[in-house]
Structure 1
């Protein structure tokens, strides 16, 4: 599972947490690739060309992570959900998640649980909200500029066709004087014209 947002250079996902402070993500069956807190992959000590990995049985918890502006910054977000070993102890709201017995691969695939995705996604969305808002402002600003240019063109065409400032003002919902003041300099007409 991974999350992307239009207009944002963020990728959100869930990372496994190990007792020694290392993190993990991805991998294959019964292997979770190790990563440092800043998102760098850890190489296997005996084979630098291979990723180091750990089994799902060593996972002690999970956090939401984000690759912000891809490959430049990696952020591990709060809160930490801790692993419990008895399904009766699971309390997602309290930050406790059961991920199967130690010999299962469930801890590596925790993000696939439908009841957990909204919880994890909410954390990531809080992280990207400021940038998404800025993207929305930029997009709407450009749309507004485009609409204002179209409006200016329509007023110029109306004036060229002999439409009065009074009629233009009424169409726009303002007075004759307001319309004249707003567009007169743009269309080169004089204030005396009506």
Structure 2
């Protein structure tokens, strides 16, 4: 299941969290921060320290943003992945073409570049990139969940067959209830049958 959070999107069971990062001209990235201040990070997700204040993270103005990418923090391996494509920032609304990778984020003095993921028309575009990234793990998570459910159901089915045999129900009736032949039922649950004390002979 995918859900939204204050930071971005996350999946239950697969430990991925995705969000949009700002791209700067020197190859560093940014996310979060305070008003008109974007916290700077390296491509592998490590925070960059402030040059003069070690207690603060380095930050840059939204005016320095040249584009955006989708990123994912992939636990439990603590891997930070920057995903393609790259959307370049354009400075004229008339030049915006999201499908072609061009996004307008307001004039340099605005904070819109830092909050580009808040645009309702852009979130589905960003989210689609992240969904394709997490799809393999989501499939594995689904397989694991269904496997556990199947094992529980099979155990309940074995118990029901054992109870039926104790009650004297024939393999023919058990097979018909399950949708298989008498021989198929007997072969499937022969170990269950062997464990049933006082079972009746087959009809």
TM-score range, shorter chain: over 0.9
The verdict on how the C-alpha distance between 1:58 and 1:70 changes in structure 2, with shifts beyond 3 A counting, is farther
8 Å CA contact retained: 1:184, 1:191: no
Q: Which has the higher contact order (CA 8 A, sep 6+)?
A: 1
Using the alignment, how far apart are the partners of 1:118 and 1:102 within structure 2? 25
In the TM superposition, what are the counterparts of 1:31-46 in structure 2 within 5 Å? 31-46=37-52
In the alignment, the residues of structure 2 paired with residue 104 and residue 62 of structure 1 have an alpha-carbon distance, to the nearest angstrom, of: 16
CA RMSD in angstroms comes to 1.4
Q: Calculate the TM-score normalised by the size of structure 2.
A: 0.92
Match of 1:120 in 2: 126
Q: What is the DSSP-based 3-state SS (H/G/I as helix, E as strand, rest coil) of the residue aligned with 1:51? A: coil
Equivalent position SS for 1:27: coil
**Aligned-pair CA distance for 1:70:** 5.5
Where 2:14 maps in the other structure, the secondary structure is coil
| Equivalent in the alignment of 2:202 | 193
Count of matched residue positions in the alignment of Structure 1 and Structure 2 = 194
What's the secondary structure of 1:37's corresponding residue?
coil
1:38-63 C-alpha deviation (Å, 9 max, x unpaired): 00000101111111000000000000
User: Structure 1, residues 66-125: CA drift from partner, whole Å, max 9, x if none?
Assistant: 000157110000000000000000000000000000000000000000000000000000
Unaligned runs of 5+ in 1: none
2:106 corresponding residue in structure 1: 100
TM superposition shift of 1:191 = 10
Counterpart check, 1:173 vs 2:188: no
- Taking the aligned partners of 1:164 and 1:181, their CA distance within structure 2 comes to 13
Select 1:6's aligned residue among 8, 12, 27: 12
Pairs within 5 Å for 1:59-138? 59-69=65-75, 72-138=78-144
1:129-173 Cα shifts (integer Å, max 9, x gaps)? 000000000000111111100100000011111111100000000
Q: CA deviation at 1:187?
A: 2.7
Q: Secondary structure of the residue that 1:48 maps to in structure 2?
A: coil
Q: Structure 2 CA distance, aligned partners of 1:17 and 1:117?
A: 17
Cα distance in 2 between the residues matched to 1:170 and 1:80: 59
* Deviating more after overlay: 63-72 vs 100-109: 63-72
> Where do 5+ consecutive residues of structure 2 fail to align?
1-6
Which residue does the alignment assign to 1:160?
166
Does 1:25 pair with 2:31?
A: yes
Q: Which residue is equivalent to 2:147?
A: 141
Is the Cα–Cα contact under 8 Å of residues 11 and 70 in structure 1 kept in the other structure?
A: no
Which consecutive aligned stretches of 4+ in structure 1 deviate over 2 angstroms post-superposition?
A: 189-194
